[in-house]
Amino acid sequence: MSFSGLQTLVEALRALPGIGPKSAQRIAYHLLQSDRIGALRLGKALVYAAEQMKNCTRCNTFTEVGICETCLDPDRDATLLCIVETPVDQNRVEQTLTFKGFYFVLMGHLSPLDGVGPDEIYFEQLIRRATDGVVKEVVLATSFTNEGEATAYYLTQVLKSRGLEVSRLARGVPVGAELEYVDPETIARAVLDRRVL
Site residues for Zn ion per CB under 5 A: 56, 58-59, 68, 71
The region of 84-92, 136-144, 147-155, 160-168 touching a copy of itself under the rule CB under 8 A is 84-92
- Collapse the DSSP code of 156 into the 3-class scheme (helix H, G, I; strand E, B; otherwise coil) and give the result: helix
Q: Are strands 101-105 and 62-63 parallel, antiparallel or unpaired?
A: unpaired
- Choose, by CB under 8 A, the member of 57, 77, 99, 107 that binds a copy of itself: 107
- Check residue 32 for interaction with a copy of itself (CB under 8 A): yes
- Choose, by CB under 8 A, the member of 40, 134, 177, 191 that binds a copy of itself: 40
- Check residue 16 for interaction with a copy of itself (CB under 8 A): yes
Strands (E), 34-177: 54-55, 62-63, 77-84, 101-105, 137-140, 165-168
Q: Which residues contact 52 (CB under 8 A, 6 or more apart)?
A: 64
- Check residue 2 for interaction with a copy of itself (CB under 8 A): yes
- In this structure, how many other beta carbons lie within 10 angstroms of the beta carbon of residue 155? 26
Residues in contact with a copy of itself by the rule CB under 8 A:
1-6, 8-9, 11-13, 15-17, 25-33, 35-53, 62-65, 68-69, 86-88, 107-108
